[in-house]
């Protein structure tokens, strides 16, 4: 049976671990070739090697999404290696350190905005430029968060960056709707990832306490976000653009 992403070339940032890793594997399983762009070289190379060994198509490139030249190189590498670019999952991000508005440092704030917000904009800028040049349309999914839909205590920089991703997603969707380029955001709830484990350590909060915040009574799994992303990238979601889709176990329904 043909996969819903057969023949597509997808660029995924932050694809070495967590949600990005899950999305890489789902997209490959659905027939896509994937360019994995991440700062984590050891794990990124390992993920790509495992996919290739299993008969899939993947390539890793060390990429800092805050640098325009690095993003341009990633897009160019996807095109050079796989022949084109049909879509992207802009997932690279950091938590930025959870502290209140007064205690947040300027350096931490600037870094969070640079990775989570500017990084997504740079990726969209050069990805859309390539897709426009091909003239065949495409699909982009950005990682926002439930923290891009509501406020959270101690999340001043993170919430600002993720609210920004939602706004940029909607604007880009309107900019290119008539060019057959769809742009959507996925808003994960509390997902069992290395980032969550880092946040739990920072705040001395057990994972069980995070799970208790979810109406469904458990943490989300990275594959549940990856599955959603692959669907949004596919033609099965062909009439969907400009949305910020919560995948959150009911968290934003509270």
**Active site (catalytic) residues:** 158
Short-list 79, 70, 80, CA closest to 119 = 70
180-207 exposure pattern, b = at least 16 Cβ within 10 A, e = fewer: ebbbbbbbbbbbbbebbeebeeeeeeee
Give the Cα separation of 109 and 107 in Å (integer): 5
DSSP class of 10: E
Nearby residues of 145 by Cβ (< 8 Å), 6 or more positions away? 158, 162, 165, 187, 188
Give the Cα separation of 184 and 244 in Å (integer): 6
Q: Which backbone phi and psi does 141 adopt, to 5 degrees?
A: -125, 130
Short-list 200, 245, 191, 199, CA closest to 221 = 191
């Amino acid at each position: 049976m043909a996969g819903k992403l057969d023949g597509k070339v997808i660029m995924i940032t932050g694809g070495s671990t967590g949600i990005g890793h899950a999305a890489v594997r789902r997209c490959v399983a659905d027939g896509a070739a994937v360019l994995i762009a991440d700062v984590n070289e050891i794990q990124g190379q390992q993920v790509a090697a495992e996919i290739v060994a299993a008969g899939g198509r993947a390539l890793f490139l060390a990429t800092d999404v805050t640098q325009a030249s690095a993003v341009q190189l990633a897009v160019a590498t996807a095109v050079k290696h796989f022949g084109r670019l049909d879509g992207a999952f802009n997932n690279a991000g950091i938590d930025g350190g959870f502290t209140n508005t007064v205690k947040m440092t300027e350096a931490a704030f600037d870094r969070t905005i640079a990775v989570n917000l500017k990084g997504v904009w740079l990726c969209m800028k050069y990805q859309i430029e390539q897709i426009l040049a091909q003239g065949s349309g495409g699909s982009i999914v950005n990682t926002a968060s439930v923290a891009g839909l509501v406020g959270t205590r101690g999340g001043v920089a993170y919430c600002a960056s993720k609210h920004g991703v939602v706004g940029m997603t909607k604007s880009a969707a309107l900019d290119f709707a008539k060019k057959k380029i769809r742009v959507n955001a996925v808003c994960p709830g509390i997902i069992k990832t290395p980032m969550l484990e880092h946040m739990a350590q920072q705040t001395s909060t057990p994972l069980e306490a995070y799970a208790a915040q979810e109406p469904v009574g458990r943490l989300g799994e990275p594959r549940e976000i990856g599955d959603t992303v692959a669907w949004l990238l596919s033609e099965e979601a062909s009439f969907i653009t400009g949305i910020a889709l919560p995948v959150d176990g009911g968290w934003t329904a509270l």
